[in-house]
Chain A
C-alpha cells in the first residue's frame, strides 16, 4: 500500500506516466485481493470469528469490484479518479496496520496463555 501511495504521488508530480503506473500497479491488484481472500478464508476455517468478521466487509468490497470488473486501474481515467484512489489506498493501509497489530496481539495472547498452562 505504501508503494501504491508513493506511485500515486509520483504521478501527481509527473515522475511517471499514467500508462506505466497502471501497468505496474495492476500487477499487484489481483495478488493483493487473493492474499486477503485467502487469509480471510483461513480465519473462517480455523474458527477465528472476530478476525473473520473484521475482514469480511473488505472481502465483499473486493469481490464486488472484481465482479463489476473495475478492480484494475484505468490509465484513461486515472487523473479523474486519482483523489479517490489515494484516499482508498490510505484507508486500506490503515486497515492493514490495525488488523496486523490485532493478529499480533492475539498471537501473543495465545502464546502467553499457552505458557501459563
Chain B
C-alpha cells in the first residue's frame, strides 16, 4: 500500500525498503546517489513533499510490524488467511490466551478482569471490554491513512498527467478481485474526478458542476461513440435527486430572483457555467447545440440596487445547482396553495393496533411544521372503514361535525364547503377533531376498507387545486372501486409465477394514478397491516403520482413502532414539498434520454410529470449515444419547473458537465460504481415486474460479467484468453460486491420465504432511495462495538466518531462480542453468547446475557461512558443520512429467535446463505464466466 514504487516517483528514481532503519531508501538509478527523503520532481511538487506519503508510511509500516501477521492480513490480505474468526483481537490478549476466541464464559471473564487490571492506566475511567483492548487504534489509523494516501496519489497522478503529457485524463489502476477483498470504506469515496478540458467553464467556482448528491453519471468521461461504449459495456445513465434535503452544513441552493432567465432559443437550455460568451459579451453560445443567442437586456442589471451589476457574479454562471424565480410565462395558473388530505383508516384493526391514535397525535404535533409560510395551506380529514366519514369544520368555530357516506359505489361529497379548510383559520377545530378522532371510533368493530372510494372522494375534494393525499391504511381494500383480493399464495413463492404477485392486481390503481397525475394530486401511502395488504398494487399509486410508500408490517403502537412511525410521518409532513412539477433532462447533441426509472408519470418522450416532489427521492435515467460526439465535453441539464409550498413558481436547474473521451481506459477509470449500482437496482426491479425474478437476477449477473469481460479483453494482457486473475479497475472494485448485495436484497433475492408485501416494499425502496441511502441498503454497515477504540462514540470534529466498518462476513463475529449491523432501514445490535455480564450491564442495564431479550428495543442511556458511546453511535446512525427514515433497533442474541437471527445475518452479504453464494464463490463464478465466455 505504501510502497513508493507503486506511487509516482520521478523518473530515474527507485525506492528500496531498508530493514534496519524501517524506512524506504531512495536511489537515483543513474548516479547511484541515495537519500532518505523522497525525491521530488519539480518546484510545483515541493510544497507537497512534507505531507506526501513516504514519511508517515514508514511509521505506519513500523507499527504494523509489531502485530501478528494475521491482524493486518485480515484487513488487507487474502481471505484465506482469515480462518474462522480471524486474528482480530489485539496482540496483548492473544499472547495471554491464544484460544480466547472460543473460550466460553469463565475464561473470558477471567480475561476481562485481567485486562481490567492490566490496563487501567490506559483509559482512566474508561471501561474496556475484552477481546479488543487496543493500546492504539491502529487499524483505524491505518486505513484512514491509506485513504488519504490514495487521494494524494490521485492528485499527484493528475499533476503528473497534466505536467508530463499535457492532457486531461484519469489514470487507470487495475486490481485483481481475487486477491483484494472489498473494503467498505471505498463506498464513501467521492466518484472519479471530472476532469474537464481547460477553459470549458467560465466560472472558477468549484460548485460550477453539480454536486454528485444532486446528479451523477455512471461514467464521468463520456465515450465519443456508441461503439466505444459497447466496448466498455458499462451501463450509461444519470442518477439524480434534484430535490435533495439540506443537512446541517450543506450549502443552500442559490436563487436567481430577478426573473431574467436566459435560455437557448433552439434547445431551451438554461444558461449555465459552460456556455461561452461571444461577440464582446453580447451573445452567448449554447453549450448543447452551439446556437448563438442574445444575452437578455437586463442580464447585467442589478435590480435590487438598480445599478449595473456584475455578470460574473450571477449564480447561474457560477453554480451547477440554481433556482430561478419564474415569471408568469411559466405558469398555467396562479401558484396553488399546498393541500393535504389525510385518509385515515378507522377500521377495527387500525384502531386496535393504535395506528389511529399515533397518527392523529403525530399530525397534531406537526401542525406547526406543515409548510404554511403564506397562510394558504389547506387541510382535510376523511376517515374510512367500509363507509366514509367526512368532517366539516366551519371557520371560526372549534367544533366539527361528522358526515357519514355509506354509499361507496357512487361517491359524492356530502357538503360543498368546509370539508377542505384553511389550516390557519380552522386550526382550533382541527386540533379538537384530531384530539377526539381516536375516541370517536374506539368501539369500531367494522372490518374492511373502502380505500378506493375514499381516494375518489379525496380527489373530488381537492381536484381543482391539486396537492397531496396521505393515506394511512391498515387493511386490504375490500369494498367499492379498487377492492382487492388476497392473492398471497405461499405455494408460488420462489417459483416463476412469483413476479405476478408484484404486478398490480387491479387496473384501478393505475388509472386512478393517471387521473391524479393530471389533477396534480400526489399520493403517499403509509401501510400498517399485519396480514396481506397487497403492497405491490397499492404502491402503484405513489409510484405514478411521484409520492412514496412507507410500510410498517404488523404495526403495534405499544412497541417501538409508534416512535418510528411518528418520527417518519412527522418528517414527511414537515418536508417543504414542490408542487405541480414537471422535470425534463436535456443533454448535448447526440445524447438521448432513453428510459426513465423512478416515481413519476412519463407524460411525453422526455417530460416527467410529478404532481408533488418529495425530498430525497432518486430517479434514474438511461442515456443513449445516438451518433459520434465531437464536442470536447458534454452537458446534462435537469430542469424542474415547480411551485414551492409557499406559492412561488420556480425552476430548479441542475447542470453537470462531463468530458468526452475516445480512450477506453479513461472510460473505465471514470466509471462511478455507486451510480452504476443505483442504475442497475432500478433496472433490476423493472425487470422483476415485467419478466421473472429469476430473469432479473440473471440479467444483473450477466451485466457484471459483461463489464468484467470487457475490462479483461481490452485492459489486461490476458486479452481474450483465460486468466488466473479477475481484473477490474480500482474505481470499480466494489461493483461486484454491490451486485451481490442487490442479488441478496429482499426485493430480488431468490427465496421462497419472503412475503410478497415485504418484497414489493423493498422494490419500492430500491427504485426510490438516493445513493446515500441505497448503498447501505444493499451493502449494510457492520461495526464491532465491544473493542472499538476509545474515541469512537465520542464527539469529534465531524460529529460522533464511528468505528471503522468491517467487511460483511460473519467470520468477524466473535462469541463475546457486541456488533452493530445497519442497512439504513434497520439497526441490529448483535450480542454474542459469551458476552460478559459487565458488557450487558453497561449497555442494557441487565445482570447477564441470559436475561437479555431479543427484539425491538430502545437502549437505555446509562451513567457510564460505554453506554453513552453506544447510544451516540446508534443516534448518529439514525441521523447521518438524508431522508425521513428512523431505523428500528433490534437486539439480536446469538442463540436467540432464529428468524431474527437469520434476518440480521442476511445483512452479512459476503457469507454464503442457503443457495446464495458467498463473496468468494460469487467472484469465482464471475471469473469462470469471464474466462469461459465466448469472447
Chain A residue numbers with a CB within 8 Å of B605 are 11-12, 14, 79
Cβ-defined contact, A19 with B514, below 8 A: yes
Q: Shortest Cβ distance from A9 into chain B, in angstroms? A: 12
Cβ-defined contact, B602 with A18, below 8 A: yes
Interface footprint category on B: 10 to 19
Cβ-defined contact, B603 with A17, below 8 A: yes
In the complex, whether A76 has a CB less than 8 A from a CB of chain B is: yes
Cβ-defined contact, A17 with B604, below 8 A: yes
**Alpha-carbon distance between A11 and B607 when the two chains are bound, in angstroms:** 12
**Alpha-carbon distance between A17 and B603 when the two chains are bound, in angstroms:** 6
Task: Across the interface, name the chain A residue whose C-beta is closest to B606.
Answer: A14
Chain A residue numbers with a CB within 8 Å of B604 are 11, 14, 17-18
Chain B residue numbers with a CB within 8 Å of A17 are 603-604
Task: Across the interface, name the chain A residue whose C-beta is closest to B540.
Answer: A76
1/0 per residue, CB under 8 A from A, across B512-534: the answer is: 01100010000000000000000
Max count, chain A CB within 10 A of own CB: residue among B510, B514, B518, B595? B514
Q: Which of B588-604 contact A (CB under 8 A)?
A: 595-596, 601-604
**Alpha-carbon distance between A11 and B514 when the two chains are bound, in angstroms:** 17
Q: Shortest Cβ distance from B496 into chain A, in angstroms? A: 15
Cβ-defined contact, A18 with B510, below 8 A: no
Q: Which of B617-658 contact A (CB under 8 A)?
A: none
Cβ-defined contact, A79 with B602, below 8 A: yes
Cβ-defined contact, B510 with A76, below 8 A: yes
Contact A74:B602 (CB < 8 A) given known A19-B518, A80-B595: no
In the complex, whether B384 has a CB less than 8 A from a CB of chain A is: no
In the complex, whether B319 has a CB less than 8 A from a CB of chain A is: no
**Alpha-carbon distance between A24 and B513 when the two chains are bound, in angstroms:** 18
1/0 per residue, CB under 8 A from B, across A57-94: the answer is: 00000000000000000111011100000000000000
Q: Shortest Cβ distance from B472 into chain A, in angstroms? A: 24
Cβ-defined contact, A76 with B601, below 8 A: yes
Chain B residue numbers with a CB within 8 Å of A11 are 604-605
Chain B residue numbers with a CB within 8 Å of A80 are 595
Chain A residue numbers with a CB within 8 Å of B513 are 76
Q: Which of B688-721 contact A (CB under 8 A)?
A: none
Chain B residue numbers with a CB within 8 Å of A18 are 602-604
**Alpha-carbon distance between A14 and B601 when the two chains are bound, in angstroms:** 15
**Alpha-carbon distance between A74 and B605 when the two chains are bound, in angstroms:** 15
Q: Which of B489-515 contact A (CB under 8 A)?
A: 510, 513-514
Chain A residue numbers with a CB within 8 Å of B782 are none
**Alpha-carbon distance between A79 and B595 when the two chains are bound, in angstroms:** 8
Q: Which of A12, A14, A74, A79 contacts B510 (CB 8 A)?
A: A74
**Alpha-carbon distance between A14 and B510 when the two chains are bound, in angstroms:** 22
Q: Shortest Cβ distance from B537 into chain A, in angstroms? A: 13
Q: Shortest Cβ distance from A27 into chain B, in angstroms? A: 15
**Alpha-carbon distance between A17 and B518 when the two chains are bound, in angstroms:** 11
Q: Shortest Cβ distance from A76 into chain B, in angstroms? A: 5
Chain B residue numbers with a CB within 8 Å of A75 are 510, 514
**Alpha-carbon distance between A95 and B601 when the two chains are bound, in angstroms:** 34
1/0 per residue, CB under 8 A from B, across A4-26: the answer is: 00000001101001110000000
Q: Shortest Cβ distance from A67 into chain B, in angstroms? A: 14
Cβ-defined contact, A76 with B603, below 8 A: no
Task: Across the interface, name the chain A residue whose C-beta is closest to B601.
Answer: A76
In the complex, whether B919 has a CB less than 8 A from a CB of chain A is: no
Max count, chain B CB within 10 A of own CB: residue among A11, A14, A17, A79? A79
Task: Across the interface, name the chain A residue whose C-beta is closest to B686.
Answer: A80
In the complex, whether B544 has a CB less than 8 A from a CB of chain A is: yes
Chain A residue numbers with a CB within 8 Å of B595 are 79-80
**Alpha-carbon distance between A76 and B604 when the two chains are bound, in angstroms:** 11
Give 15 A-B contacts (CB < 8 Å), ordered by A residue. A12-B605, A14-B605, A17-B604, A18-B602, A18-B603, A75-B510, A75-B514, A76-B510, A76-B513, A76-B514, A76-B544, A79-B596, A79-B602, A79-B605, A80-B595
Given A19-B518, A74-B510, list of 6 further CB < 8 A pairs? A12-B605, A14-B604, A14-B605, A18-B604, A19-B514, A79-B605
A→B interface (CB under 8 Å): 11-12, 14, 17-19, 74-76, 78-80
Closest 9 CB pairs of A and B: A14-B604, A79-B602, A76-B544, A76-B510, A75-B514, A19-B514, A17-B603, A12-B605, A14-B605
